[in-house]
Structure 1
Amino acid sequence: MSTTYQQHLTLLQTQAEQALARCGFDALLIASGVEKLAFLDDRPYLFAPNPHFKHWLPLVNHPDSWLLIRPGHKPRLVYYQPDDFWHVPPADPSGEWLAHVELVLIQRAEDAAAHLQVPGRLAIIGEADAALAGVLPNNPPELLNILHYQRAYKTEYELAQMRAASRRAVPAHLAARKAFLAGASELDIHRAYLAASGHTDRDLPYTNIVGLNEHGAVLHYQYQDAQAPAESRSLLIDAGAQVNGYASDITRTWGAGDANFQALLDAMERAQLALVDEVRAGVDYRSIHLSTHAKVAGILQELGVVKLSVEEQLAQRVTSTFFPHGIGHLIGLQVHDVGGFMADDRGAVAPKPEGHPYLRLTRPLAAGMVVTIEPGLYFIPTLLDKLKATPAAAAVDWSLVAQLSKFGGVRIEDDVVCRAQGGPENMTRDAFAALAS
C-alpha cells in the first residue's frame, strides 16, 4: 500500500494547496476532534473523528490531535499522547504514514496551540469544542465546498480500504444469517455479527439495524430485542464495517422458506443487480432513483400486490408507499458521505427530483465515485394507511399485503464503484464471491 498511500497524500496536498490559494488562506489546520462527556455525567460519548483528519491519516481513535497543512511543507501532525493511568493512551506512532509527516508529540491537549501558530491567514476545520488558545475553528464555507466536492472521487488507496471494509463485513453477514436460521434473537444476531467482524459497538461505522419479521419495515430500526420471536420469518440486517476510517454499508434480507416472500426476495434481487449495472460514468444518479421506482412498480404488478400498470403506479405515486427512501448515497470516510447535493465545488445545489425528498445524492456519476445501491420494498403500516385513503387503494390486494406485512420488507444494498469505462465494480458482491470460492 506504500505507493498508493503516498499518491493519495500527494493528491490531498495538491488539492489543499490549490484550495488555500483560491480561497485566500495561507495554511490549513484540521482538528481530529474532542471527546465529549454526557450532560451532567463523567461518561464520554463514543468518539467520532473529524473525517477531514482521517482523510489524511488512518488514525481514528486520536482525540485532541491536529494536522497543519502548508504549501511546500510536509503535513505537521501534532499527536496527543497523554500520560494517563486511567485510560489506555494512543499507542506510539507507527505505520507507513509516519514517514510522510512531521511529527510533534504532546502530553497535554493545550500544548498543541504552540505548534499550530504559523504566519498568515488560517483555515481551521473542526468543531467549536476543539478550540485552543489562538486556534478557533472557522470552517470557511468556500474552502469546505471545494474539499467536500473532491471527496466524492476516491483514490486507489481509498478504494483499497473500502474493499477491505467489505471483506470484513461479509463474513459477519453470513454469521448473522446462520444465527437467524437457528432462531436467535435480534440481540444474539447482532452479537454474532460483532464476533465475526471483529468489531465492537464502539467502532462500528454505524449502529447495526437488525430487524426480525415486522421490524424489517422500520427503515432505521434502532432496537435489538433480547427475546427471540415465537417464529422467525425474515431478517433484514443493515450492517457495515470499517478499515482505517473507511466504511462499508451492506444490507441483506433473508427469509425462512415462505414461497410468497421468497418470490419477493428473488424479484428484488434481480432488480437490485440491474440497478447496480446502471452505475456508469456520466449517468445522473437521480435517474437511477427514478428507475428504481419503475422496477418496484413492476414487482408490485408482477406479484399481484397492486393491479395497476407501472405507468399508472408512477403517476399516482403508489410506489412511494412501498419504497419511501432514496436509492442510495455516497460512501467513504462517512457512511453518508458529504457532497451528495453539490452541483459544483462552489456550493451550488443539484435539486432532488420533485416528490422524492429523501434522496441523498443528486450528482452525475464519475470515475472513482463510490455509491450505495439499495432498493427496498416494505409494508409500513403508517404509509399503507395513507394509501388506503387514495383512489389507488381499490387496486391493492390487501389480503396479500397483510400476508407479506408479517415479513416487514426487503432491502438489498451493495457498495459500488463507478469506473471510467465499462461496468461498475461491486465491492460487496466481490467480497461475497471471494468468500464462497
Structure 2
Amino acid sequence: MPTALLSQLYPQHLATLQHQAGIALERGGYDHLLIAAGQLHYQFLDDLPYPFQVNPHFKHWLPVTRAPGSWLVITPGQRPRLIYLQPYDYWHVVPEAPAGYWVEHFDIVIVREAREAAGHLPPDSKRCAIIGEASAGIDTHVPNNPEAVLNYLHFQRAWKTEYELAMMRVASHLGARAHRAAEAAFRAGASEYGIQMAYLAAARETENELPYSNIVCLNEHGAVLHYTNLERNPPLQSHSLLIDAGASFHGYAADITRTYAGAQAAEFQQLVDAVDAAQRGFCARVRPGQSYPELHVHAHHVLAGILREHGFIRMSAESAVESGVSSVFFPHGLGHYIGLQVHDIGGFQQSDAGGTLPRPAGHPYLRLTRTIEANQVMTIEPGLYFIDLLLAELRNRPEAGDVNWDKVDAFRRYGGIRIEDDVACTADAPENLTRDAFAALN
C-alpha cells in the first residue's frame, strides 16, 4: 500500500481515537489513558517465550505489533506519547527505532529497560485508566481495566475508520493471494502440511504472524470445525479441501474460508456451488439496519432449503429450522466482527455503557448479536457439514425418519463446506473485501 495514502488517512484515524479516548476517560473519571503493549510470556520450566501478541488497544493507535514492554500515554489536549522499549540485547533482534508516516504525531521516548517506563508515565496512577493484561504492569502502574472505559472503547471498535478499512483491504489481498496458492497445491495432490507451506510462502507471513492458526482440511477432516493437525502425508484420494486461513497487515486481520471439490467429486461441487450462491446472497444483506441475528436465522432457512433441494432431508426448511435439524448441519454462527482481532470485541454489547444482547434461542454459538451499521466489518461464513457426533445424535431423534441417511453417509468423505468473506457495510451496497481481493488477482 502506498505510504502516501496511509499518511493521508492516518491523521483522521488518530483524531477519532483521541476523541473517543476523551469521552471514555470522562465516563470513568480519569485524566489519562495508559495502554500497555504487553510482555513476553515464557513456557513452564523453560526460557522459551510464547509468540508475542500485542494488546489490540495498543495497535489500534499505531502500526506497532512487536514492541513488548512499550506504553502509550493519551491525555486529552496533548500529543499522545509513545514510550518505546528498545533494550540492549545481543540474544534477540531488538525492535527497530520507530519510523514511518505516524511518528510525527507522537512524542516518542526510548527506554532501554522496562522499568524505566515508570519515569515517563503520569505520576499519580490513581488518575489513570490503565489497559492491559496484569503481567504488563510495572511496580507503579498496574492495569486496572476500568469497566466504564472499556465498555465505551469496545463498543466503538465496531466502526472502522477509512485508515482501518485500507489496512483490511491489504490484509484481504494477502489472504486471497495465499488462498490461490493453497488451491493450486490441493489440485497438485499436496498434503495438508504441503498446502499450509504453500499458503505461508504466498502470504509471506510466518505462522505466528497470521491472525490465527490456519485450518487446512482434506476430506473428512472438514467436519472438524477447528481442525489444525496438518497431516504430513496426502490421502490416497483428495475428495475435498476446506481451508480457513487469514493474513495480517499492520495488526489488522483478514479471515477467509474456501471449499474446493476434487476432480472426481461433481456432486459435491454442486453442493459447494449452492452454498456459495447462498453466501453471496447473505453478503448482499449486509446493510444498515439489518439485525445480524435475523440474518443468521435467515441463513438457516436458506441452507435448510439447500439440504432439501439436494436430497439430504425430506422435511420443509421451516420444519428443519424449528426442530433444530438445520443446526446439525450448520452448527456455528453466521459470522462475527473482524478488525484488530479475528473475533473482534463488542459483538454482544448492547450500548457504549455495556449490557448484553442475547443470542437467539437455539443458536448458542453466534458471535454477533448487534444491528449492522455503516463502516462496520463482519464475516459472513455459512457452512454445511457432515459431523459424526451430531449425526449420531440426530439418528436417535424423531426427525431421523426425514433424513436421507444413504446420501448423508455418502457425503461424509467430504467433511463439510464453509465459504467465508469479510464484508464492510456502507451507506449503499456492501463492500466485499474478500471477493474484491480475489477479483484483483485475475
Aligned-pair CA distance for 1:355: 0.6
- How far apart are the structure 1 equivalents of 2:356 and 2:306? 33
Task: Name the structure 2 match of 1:109.
Answer: 114
State the match for 1:8 in structure 2. 13
Aligned partner of 2:139 in structure 1 is: 133
**Cα offset for 1:117?**
2.6
- Contact 2:293/2:368 (CA < 8 Å) preserved in 1? yes
Do the aligned residues in 2 keep the contact of 1:206 with 1:240 (CA within 8 Å)?
yes
Q: Say if 1:208 and 1:238, in contact at 8 Å, map to a contact too.
A: yes
Q: 1:39 aligns with which of 39, 44, 54?
A: 44
> Match of 1:386?
393
Q: Partner of 2:255 in structure 1?
A: 249
Corresponding residue of 1:233: 239
Matched, 1:56 2:66: no
Confirm or deny: 8 A CA contact 2:37 2:68 kept in the other structure: yes
Q: 2:266 aligns with which of 259, 271, 279?
A: 259
Aligned to 2:217: 211
Count how many residue pairs are aligned between Structure 1 and Structure 2. Answer: 435
Q: Could you give the per-residue CA deviations for residues 49-93 of structure 1, whole angstroms, max 9, x where no partner exists?
A: 000000001001110000000011111100000111000000111
- CA drift of 1:399 comes to 0.9
Whole-Å separation in 1 of the counterparts to 2:234 and 2:228: 16
2:296 to 268, 276, 289: 289
Percent identity over paired residues: 55
Q: Deviations over 1:113-134 (max 9, x none)?
A: 1101344611000111011121
For residue 92 of structure 2, the aligned residue among 87, 95, 99 is: 87
Does the 8 Å contact 2:39/2:52 carry over to 1? yes
Structure 1 residue 270 corresponds to structure 2 residue 277: yes
**What is residue 350 of structure 2 aligned with on the other side?**
343
Cα offset for 1:236? 0.3
Within the candidate set 180, 188, 191, 2:194 is matched to: 188
Equivalence map 1:157-196=2 (5 Å): 157-196=163-202
1:142 corresponds to which of 133, 137, 148:
148
> In 2, Cα distance between the equivalents of 1:403 and 1:381?
12
CA distance in 1, matches of 2:9, 2:88: 34
How far apart are the structure 1 equivalents of 2:405 and 2:25?
59
**Structure 2: how far apart are the matches of 1:314 and 1:414?**
24
Aligned counterparts, 1:342-381, within 5 A: 342-381=349-388
Deviation at residue 223 of structure 1 after TM alignment: 0.8
Q: Residue type of the partner of 2:362?
A: G
Cα distance in 2, alignment partners of residues 312 and 127 from structure 1: 47
Structure 1 partner of 2:3 = none
Secondary structure class of the residue paired with 2:260? strand
8 Å contact kept, 1:123–1:138: yes
Distance (Å, rounded) in 1 between the aligned partners of 2:210 and 2:67:
16
Shift of 1:304: 0.4
Distance between the aligned counterparts of 1:337 and 1:351, measured in 2?
Answer: 17
Correspondence for 1:17: 22
Q: Which residue identity does 2:27 align to in structure 1?
A: R
Give the unaligned 5+ runs of structure 2. 1-5
SS at match of 2:298: helix
What root-mean-square deviation, in Å, do the aligned CA atoms of Structure 1 and Structure 2 show?
Answer: 0.8
Unpaired segments ≥5 residues, structure 1: none
Deviates more, 1:257-266 or 1:38-47: 257-266
The 2-side partners of 1:274 and 1:418 are apart by: 14
Is 1:279 the counterpart of 2:286? The answer is: yes
Using the TM superposition, give the Cα deviation of residue 176 of structure 1 relative to its aligned residue in structure 2, in angstroms.
Answer: 0.4
SS at match of 1:348: strand
